[in-house]
Amino acid sequence: MRSAEMGRHGSIALRILAVAAVYYGAAQVGLLLQLVRDQVTPLWPPTGVALAGLLLLGMRVWPGIALGAFFVNVVLGPSLISVLAITAGNTLAPVCAALMLRGAGFRNELDRLRDVLALVFLGALVGMVISSTIGTGTLVLSGAVGASDFWPTWSVWWTGDAMGILVVTPFLLVLRKARWPSRAGPGRWFEAVALAVGTVSVTLLATRTPDSTLLFLVSPFLVWAAFRFRLPGAAPCALAVSTLAILAAAADTGPFAGEDVFADMVTLQAFNGTTALTALLLAAVITERDKTYEEIKRVCVRLTEMVARMEPRPESYDDPPDDHPEPPRAR
């Protein structure tokens, strides 16, 4: 009994360390996209990693989030107290988001429209207010950011955490069940490669051109991914598009050139929000339609079988011969 309990605790400890390691690695990627004080980025992948870890591994891995957030911020934070406050905010936000999602009956498969809406509103929009408010307030109180920069910094922080939830969490939830398609033919593979190449090419073109209206040329590819490949195709496409757009904003090129941080955040939030919502909502609606169609087919098959069993058997008409036939009538 004791060995089984020790094994269970050891498994939990390994999960916590794994979450901390992945969180730290994702943070190093996110810091490459920083726009404010080498710390606030328009896409913060660790938040998406944290929420996915809580949803997949359970609430007991929250120390891994705190551990990873501490090691990330200990180098960046102005003081130890500020680091602890920011770590608390970065841990509390995904934990609260996961609790709200569980309370709403969220399913990790994201195969229902209500699951996607819950992820958007409860996980991203509401839950990430906690981390952005605590983090920005800590930077202002510590003097690292001026009071006049509170709202621009807050908007970048909130957008980064929210986009981490919208583009990273669905990708990780899909990746958990990813399997090599053994029955996919050459045509299917060609379509997948064409979708990937087209999405990246059009996004690069749109984010390197000063005209911001070209950004929405990516939408047809997101629709294509959702219709043909459902969430396993839509989630990676949304992640790729958002990442390329943020790279363009960080490099101050294309439609983001010459704009201040707040203006860039407005454009990025509109574009990335549209990208994520188009991909996730459309994929969820189509998946629900497919499930409804399959359920209707199963019901029709069951009804057909029931009717076949209830049909009366044909009666036997082998009557005995008549011994006294009726005489023919006179004309």
Q: Which of 80, 69, 64 is nearest to 39 (CA)?
A: 69
pLDDT by position in tens, the chain (length 331): 566 666 676 789 999 999 999 999 999 988 887 765 555 677 899 999 999 999 999 999 999 999 999 999 998 877 899 999 999 999 999 999 999 999 999 999 888 999 999 999 999 999 999 999 999 999 999 888 888 888 878 887 888 899 899 999 999 999 887 776 667 788 888 999 999 999 999 999 998 888 777 888 999 999 999 999 999 999 999 999 998 988 888 787 888 877 676 677 778 778 888 899 899 999 999 999 998 989 999 999 998 888 888 866 555 555 555 555 556 555 4
In the chain the first and final C-alpha atoms are separated, in Å, by: 104
CATH placement of domain 1-177: 1.10.1760
Angstrom distance (rounded) from CA 206 to CA 225: 18
Buried b (16+ CB within 10 A) or exposed e, 255-283: bbeeeebeebbebbbebbbbbbbbbbbbb
- Burial level of 66, CB count in 10 A (0-12/13-18/19+)? buried
What does each C-alpha distance from 131 to 75, 104, 120, 274, 323 come to in angstroms? 18, 21, 16, 23, 100
User: What pLDDT was estimated at residue 299?
Assistant: 92
Tally Cβ neighbours within 10 Å of residue 133. 16
Tokens of 139: 């930077």
User: What pLDDT was estimated at residue 144?
Assistant: 83
Tokens of 29: 């990627």
3-state class of 44 per DSSP?
Answer: coil
3-state class of 84 per DSSP?
Answer: helix
Give the residues across from 36 on adjacent strands. Answer: 40
Tally Cβ neighbours within 10 Å of residue 201. 11
* Crossing angle (nearest 10°) for helices 62-76 and 80-103: 150
Contact 265, 232 (CB under 8 A): no
